[in-house]
């Protein structure tokens, strides 16, 4: 059934709530506006912005540019995933098509232990696909993080620490390498009732790295929200639109990758 591998990959990356699988987020909207700002459409920008407000305005504009770039590079991420799927689905020593074929079996045709192994292996595939897709964000993130680090904040704002943690954790996330999927799939083929050692080692590292990056991103957007001013309402709304578009696009791309892999595995 074509739906089998697609379902497994979807569960691994998006169908389960983020806290359970720590699915990485490259972007998110800013938290809701502060009560004093909500509903305010008037331009009440101070004649002279404070140091933190000025740095924050630059950060907000850089964030919007970053999101715009990520959206525009969707085709690069898709191309990365296509290359990954082609590589792992090759027969023989170049890939592991035969070892991955059990992922296309209907769940009711596989015993419970083997199904668990396949599900976990599907999580590994979902993580690999995400890692491969997100490689397209590396250059844009480097520019964005460089601008963030160049801003100056007041001593007691905690902004410097928040930005440092965000840059470090996101750098770690984007530096993750894909797993040794074919080796793990081959182990699963030989011992379907046992989760491969490589899979058990890879998944916790990925999940923890992703979780830390997500927390740091949330703290960054909270920081930017805390220094936004009413005149930036349109910019905040634009960021929300871009972040939601990127999230929707990323989910669709992952699901498409699942469909593509399923089709390849079921082909002769």
Tell me the DSSP string of 105-146: S-GGGS-HHHHHHHHHHHHHHHHHHHHHHHGGGHHHHHHHHH
pLDDT at res. 34: 55
Average pLDDT over residues 42-68: 85
Report the number of distinct structural domains present in the chain.
1
Specify if 160 maps to a domain. yes
* Residues 200-232: tens digit of each pLDDT: 999 999 999 999 999 999 999 999 999 999 999
Distance (Å) of CA 204 to CA 135, 136, 193, 214, 257: 20, 23, 20, 15, 23
Residues 149, 132: Cα–Cα separation, whole Å: 26
E strands within the chain? none
Share of the chain above pLDDT 70, in %: 82
Specify if 24 maps to a domain. no
Helix, strand, coil content of the chain in percent (nearest 5): 75, 0, 25
Which one of 11-25, 34-48, 86-100, 104-118 scores highest in mean pLDDT? 86-100
Kindly tell me the number of DSSP H helices and DSSP E strands found in the chain. 11, 0
End-to-end CA, the chain:
14
**Axis-axis angle for helices 112-134, 74-88 (nearest 10):** 140
Tokens 């469909």 correspond to what residue?
259
Whole-model pTM? 0.84
Specify if 79 maps to a domain. yes
Distance (Å) of CA 226 to CA 14, 33, 153, 194, 233: 29, 9, 13, 49, 13
| 40-43-44 Cα angle (round to 5) | 90
Q: What is the mean pLDDT of the chain?
A: 84
Instruction: Give yes or no for residue 146 having a pLDDT over 50.
Output: yes
Residues 64, 66: Cα–Cα separation, whole Å: 5
- Domain boundaries, position 126: 3-14+49-266
Specify if 40 maps to a domain. no
């Amino acid at each position: 059934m074509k739906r089998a591998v697609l379902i497994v990959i979807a569960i691994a990356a998006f169908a389960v709530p983020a806290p359970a699988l720590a699915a990485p987020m490259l972007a998110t909207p800013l938290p809701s506006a502060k009560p004093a700002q909500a509903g305010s459409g008037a331009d009440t920008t101070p004649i002279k912005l404070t140091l933190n407000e000025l740095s924050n305005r630059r950060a907000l504009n850089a964030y919007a540019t970053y999101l715009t770039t990520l959206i525009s590079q969707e085709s690069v991420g898709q191309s990365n995933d296509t290359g990954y799927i082609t590589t792992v689905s090759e027969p023989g020593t170049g890939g592991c098509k035969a070892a991955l074929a059990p992922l296309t079996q209907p769940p009711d045709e596989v015993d419970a232990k083997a199904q668990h192994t396949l599900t976990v292996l599907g999580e590994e595939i979902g993580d690999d696909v995400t890692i491969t897709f997100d490689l397209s964000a590396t250059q844009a993130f480097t520019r964005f993080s460089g601008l963030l680090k160049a801003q100056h904040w007041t001593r007691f704002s905690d902004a410097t620490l928040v930005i440092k943690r965000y840059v470090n954790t996101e750098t770690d996330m984007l530096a993750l390498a894909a797993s040794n999927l074919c080796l793990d799939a081959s182990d699963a083929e030989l011992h379907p009732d046992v989760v491969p050692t490589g899979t058990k080692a890879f998944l916790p590292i990925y999940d923890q790295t992703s979780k830390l990056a997500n927390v740091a991103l949330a703290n960054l957007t909270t920081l930017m929200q805390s220094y936004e001013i009413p005149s930036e309402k349109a910019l905040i709304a634009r960021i929300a639109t871009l972040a939601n578009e990127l999230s929707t696009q990323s989910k669709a791309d992952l699901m498409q990758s699942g469909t593509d892999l399923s089709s390849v595995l079921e082909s002769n």
